[in-house]
Amino acid sequence: MNEREGSQRLRQIFEAAGCSIVEGFRLPLAAGEVSLDGWDPARRIGYELITTEAGDRAEFTPEVIAELEAKMRAAELFVFLVDEANIPSAGILERAAGRFLAQLRKQGALA
Amino acid sequence: MNGMYAGSEVVQLLRRQREETQEALNHADGLVARHTNDSAELARQYDQARYDLATALLPQLDRPWLQRAIQLTGYTPFHHQDPIAGRDAERATLQAQLAQIDADPRYAQRELHRHPRTGTLFVKREELLGHRKPWAEVLDAAQHERLERLLEVGYGTDAYDVPFWRLSYYQDWEAGDQILEKFPGKSGFGEVRDEVLRARETVSTFDQELDTLNREISAGAAIEQQRDQVAQALASVDQRWLDFARVRMVEHLMTVDPKVIKPMLASDPNLQLLYLRASGMIAKGRYLEAMVGENAGKMRQALPEQLQKIDRDIAKFSRPKNLNAWWPRDVIDRRTKSRRDRYQKQFQRFETNYHTVYVYDDWSRARAYDDFVWWYLMTDGRVPGHYIPEVAVFEQHHPEWAQGLPAADHDDWDDSAAAAAIASADDDQTRSVDAS
């Protein structure tokens, strides 16, 4: 899968779980503003494919990632980070995203 | 029209001339091909002649025979590059090497240590492989493209800290489950991890021991191989030095002028005859090569050019304006005169002369002359050989020979003895060399 295909698939999965996804959402952070592949501003849930293909590795610096993860640990927001060197097959991506959303439901972050 | 040819008649005459020329070229090619076969046969005969000469000159490599050979051939380098001393020195070196190897425990106890079934090294290796096997099976079962990562990030332990919002968290999870399935007795990946790490350490320890054992086995095999080589060299040392001495002496005989060598060998008429046979055979090879080059070879160079010229003429006379024109008969007759008879005569003369040289085997005839070239003896001086360098040089020094073969300098040789000597050598062709 390429980034575009992966992003489309994730949008379908997240929307099927009840999210209202905005693509290319600009999220302001202390470490700098970043553009997220998919983001539900109301639920503060989204996803990001950190790939070289889209130049994300330059934007998602270790400082940005650290800030995002700190906010996730504090349950302020949740971003599913596709952090592997290559985007996996559709099946793996679907299973992983499904488990991520199930975890959010379990935590009460998603109805 | 009298005294004139039509253009079409000229073309016919040229085509006939072309056929004759092509035939001649084919004939020349055939002669060269035949000579190639003859050369191979001559080379075989010459090798045999050299072998017979070498065997008679130096039947064995000992002091009396070597002294005699040096005296007969004048090959003095063996006075200071003594092949007997060389052989004895090499033999002593090889014997010392053999004794050293025999005393080496790796060789002396080869059966004890390296017998394929009962040797201690092989038995130990089998034991180690047996102990290693179950641990290697653990590693085989755990094989997974993500195993290294799982071990590295501490998956299955408290140290694992990949958060659930990362895709890698789920991929680790999936890979861990897949590996765990291969270990039915384990309740979690942490147990598998411990087992795999223990297996890795154990296999590594066994592999180090196996590596040491394999090196010992290889070193033992290498020393056995070395001993075989030394033993083989020792077994052949006499023959090799005998061959060496023979080759050097025969090479010397074959490169020095026969008028120098022939009288030196006069005290042993049989040996002298074997020498003359080898000398004559190598000369025969040179002569035939030169004859082919001078005749068929030159024709093969010239005839294709003639064919091209005829083809150009055919094309020229075939043009419409020439085809319908008239051409003077005397000029065209001269231009298209048949060359068939000339070619045939040339080929016949060449083949006769070639055959004369090829079949020549009267080697004892050279005994009658103090100075000679084989060409004159082989052809009775009836065939011009000025294009052969050694013949040309000889004729410069002996202009009287150019008038034909002169009377013999000596006429006291018993030809029946000569024939007997050659027959004896021929009968002896398959005899192996006495290496004692």
Work out the average pLDDT over B30-43. 96
| Cβ pair B367, B409 in contact under 8 A | no
Q: Is A20 part of a structural domain of the chain?
A: yes
- Which residues of chain B make contact with A100, given a CB cutoff of 8 A? 164-165, 170
| Domain count within chain B | 2
Do residue B29 and residue B152 come from a single domain? no
Residue of chain B whose alpha carbon sits nearest to that of A102: B164
The upper half-sphere exposure of residue A88, i.e. CA atoms within 13 Å in the direction of its Cβ, equals 18
Distance of alpha carbon B138 from alpha carbon B200, whole angstroms: 9
Pair B37, B121 in one domain: no
Inter-residue contact B111 to B288 (CB < 8 Å): no
Q: Do A82 and B165 touch (CB under 8 A)?
A: no
Cα separation values, B225 from A54, B99, B230, Å: 63, 15, 9
Q: Which two tokens stand for residue B86?
A: 């060389």
- Mean pLDDT value across residues B120-142: 96
**H-state helical runs in A1-111:** 3-16, 56-59, 62-73, 90-107
Question: Which residue range is the domain that position B234 belongs to?
Answer: 105-241
- Asked whether residue B209 falls in the same domain as residue B304, the answer is no
- B276 pLDDT more than 60: yes
pLDDT at B376 over 50: yes
In a domain, B91, yes or no: no
pLDDT in tens, B156-168: 999 999 999 999 9
Tens digits of residue pLDDT in A54-95: 566 678 888 999 999 999 999 999 999 998 777 788 899 999
Same domain, B110 and B161: yes
Q: What is the DSSP letter of B365?
A: G
Number of domain units in chain A: 1
Task: Give Dmax over CA atoms of chain A in angstroms.
Answer: 35
Query: A1 and A7 in contact (C-beta within 8 Å)?
Result: no
Boundary (domain end) residue, out of B216, B241, B266: B241
Question: Residue B5: beta bridge partners?
Answer: B327
Q: Is residue A62 part of a domain?
A: yes
Check whether residue B268 and residue B412 sit in a common domain. yes
Q: Reply yes or no on whether the pLDDT at B430 is more than 50.
A: no
Q: Is the pLDDT of residue B417 over 70?
A: no
Using an 8 Å CB-CB cutoff, list chain B residues near A98. Answer: none
Pairing of strands A45-49, B326-328: unpaired
Q: Of all residues in chain A, what percent carry a pLDDT higher than 70? A: 95
Whether B296 is in a domain gets the answer yes
Nearest 10 degrees: Cα torsion B242, B248, B249, B250:
100
In a domain, B50, yes or no: yes
Q: Cβ–Cβ contacts within 10 Å for residue A74, how many? A: 8
Q: Are residues B298 and B421 in the same domain?
A: yes
Q: To which residue do tokens 């191979």 refer? A: B40
Query: Which chain A residues are closer than 8 Å to B173 by Cβ?
Result: 99
Minimum mean pLDDT among B19-23, B202-206, B408-412, B425-429: which range? Answer: B425-429
- Please tell me the distance from the alpha carbon of residue B304 to that of residue B203, in angstroms, as a whole number: 77
Residue B196 distance to chain A (closest CA, Å): 25
| pLDDT > 80? residue A9 | yes
Which of B145, B146, B149, B167 best tests the A interface by mutation, with the highest count of A CBs <10 A? B167
- Complex-level ipTM: 0.93
Inside any domain, residue B432 = no
| Cα separation, B65 vs B67, whole angstroms | 5
For residue A57, what are the domain limits?
A: 3-103
Domain membership flag for residue A7:
yes
CA B165 to chain centre: 74
B145 to chain A, any CB pair closer than 8 A? The answer is no
Contact B166 A72 (CB under 8 A): no
Among B218, B241, B264, give the residue marking a domain's end.
B241
